[in-house]
Amino acid sequence: MKRSRRTKIIATLGPASDSPEMISKLFHAGADVFRLNMSHLPRERLPEKIEAIRAVEREAKRPIAILVDLQGPKLRVGAFAEGSAQLVPGASFTFDDNPEPGDVNRVYLPHPEILQAVEPGHSMLVDDGKLRLTVTEVSPGRCTTRVEVGGRISNRKGVSLPHTIVPLPAMTEKDHADLEAGLNAGADWIAVSFVQRPEDVAEVKKVVQGRALVMSKIEKPQALNRLEEILEISDGIMVARGDLGVEMPLEQVPGAQKRLTRGCRRLGKPVVIATQMLESMITAPVPTRAEVSDVATAVYEGADAVMTSAESASGAYPVEAIATMSRIAEQVEKDALYWSIISAQRSEPEHTAADAIAAAAHQMVGSLDLDAIMAWTHSGSTALRLSRARPNATVIALTPKRETARRLAMAWGTHPIVTKDASDVDDMAFRAAKFAVRENFAEIGDRIIIVAGVPFGTPGATNLIRIAFVTREHADRA
C-alpha cells in the first residue's frame, strides 16, 4: 500500500477509535503509527489493543508502528474540605505536607520533592496554568505563595513548575509496570513523559534494552536547557506542545518547536509534532484555517510525523481528522516551495562512509530524477541516514527484521518491507528492482538506486551504492 506523502501520521487511539473496525479505517485514511496513551488505557487491555493493530497490519501487508506513551509522574494537590476554594489575586496561599483537607489559605501537596526543590521567585501553575502563583517563602514542609492569577482550585488538580527541576524519577511504579507490559506485548516505540534531563531517558533505556526505541516527550522547559544531551541519548523526540505551552510563555513555543525539529533533523532522529493540531475537529467535521496552517508548518519544516490526540481518541470525527491531516501533508509536499525549504535546512553529512553514501544517493536522485532509493538495512540505520538527507525520493527499506520495519514506519519518507536478506550482490540488485515494481515505485526501463552494506546482515555497515535498470524480468517476477 503506497502512500502519496512522505510525512508520517500518528493516530492516538481511545474510546472513539479503539475497535478493530475503526483502527482499520484510520489506517486506510492515512495513519502510519498508532499511539496507545497509558494515562487512559488500562494495562490489562494493552495486549488486546496491540493485537487489533497487528491484525490490521496483517490484512494490509504493511508494517505499522505502535507507540506506547507512558503517563509519567503526575503532580497534584490534595483535597479541600469543601471540594474547592476560590483564590483571590494578591492573597497568600500555602502548600504544605499536612494531609488535612485544605481551605482558602492552604492545601496538602503530597510531593515532598516539590517542597524541597522550590525557591522564592519560582512559579507554581495549577490546573493547566489557569491559576498562577509565585513562591515567596520556603520552610521545612511548606512553601508560601502569592496568588498572581486567581480562580477556583479544586481537589486533585495538577501542578506545574516551569522554573523548578523536581528530583523525581522518570518513571513511577505504574510506568515501570506499563513499560514491561508494552514491551512484552510488542511495542515498537516507548514515549517518555515529562523528560527534564538525559538521565530520565537513560533510566528508561536501561529497562528497554533495545527491545523498542525510546522517544523523549519535550513538554517541560527544563528539558530545553539540556537539549543537546537529550537529543543525543534519545531515539526520537516528540514536541508535546500542550504541556510545553502551559509551563513556558505561549509565544516561545513555536521557536522551541523549530529548534527541536532542526536538532532532530541534524542528527537523523525522528521528530513528532503533537498536541492540538486539529483540535476543533474533536467536535467539528472540518478544521480551522489556522489549524491547517499549523499542520502545514510542521510538514514544511520537515517533521517526520504529525500526530492527532483527542481528535482521533475521543472526538466525533476521528477518521475525518486523519484524512484531513493526510491531505494537508500531501498538498504541502506538492508545493514548489516545499523542496526549497527542505533543502535549505539540510545538514552537512558527517565524515563517515555511510553518510557519504547517503549524500551521494541524494545527489543521484536529483541528477537522474529517480523516485526510489532501495535500502537494504538490518538495524534500520541505513534507512534513517537516507531519511535524514530528505531526498526527493521514497526510501524503500528492505529488511529481514520485522521489528526494524515497524520502527521505520515512524521515519520520514520510508516505505519498509520485510523480506529475507540478500544472499549476494546480484540477488540484492534483482530483488530490489522487483520490489520497486511490486510497490509501484518503478516501471520497466526506470533506474533505481540501491544502498546496502557488505557483508550482508552486518548492522551499520553501509558501504555500497549501485544504480540498476528495471527490466521485463523484474516486472514478471514482481
Cβ burial 66-82 (10 Å sphere, 16+ → b, else e): bbbbbbbbebebbbbee
Is 283 a catalytic site residue? no
Choosing from 197, 217, 407, 431, the catalytic residue is 217
Contact present, 12 and 308 (Cβ < 8 Å): yes
Contact present, 133 and 148 (Cβ < 8 Å): yes
Across-strand partners of 305?
8, 272
Choosing from 7, 12, 261, 275, the catalytic residue is 275
Distance CA 376, CA 464 (A): 10
Q: How far is CA 41 from CA 15, 77, 275, 428, in A?
A: 10, 23, 18, 43
Is 136 a catalytic site residue? no
Hey, what's the cell of 473? Answer: 524480468
Q: Angle between the 318-334 and 20-29 helix axes, to the nearest 10 degrees? A: 20
Is 275 a catalytic site residue? yes
Choosing from 43, 74, 76, 205, the catalytic residue is 76
Q: Where are the beta strands (DSSP E) in 185-302?
A: 189-192, 213-218, 236-240, 271-274
Q: Angle between the 318-334 and 336-344 helix axes, to the nearest 10 degrees? A: 80
Instruction: Give the count of alpha carbons within 13 A of 323, CB side only.
Output: 10
Choosing from 5, 6, 35, 434, the catalytic residue is 35
**Amino acid in position 226:** R
Is 217 a catalytic site residue? yes
Place of cell 514478471: 476
Q: What does R_g of the chain's alpha carbons equal in angstroms?
A: 24
Query: Is the link from the previous residue into 455 a cis peptide, with omega within 30 of 0?
Result: yes
DSSP 43: G
Distance CA 213, CA 157 (A): 32
- Which are the catalytic amino acids? 35, 76, 217, 275
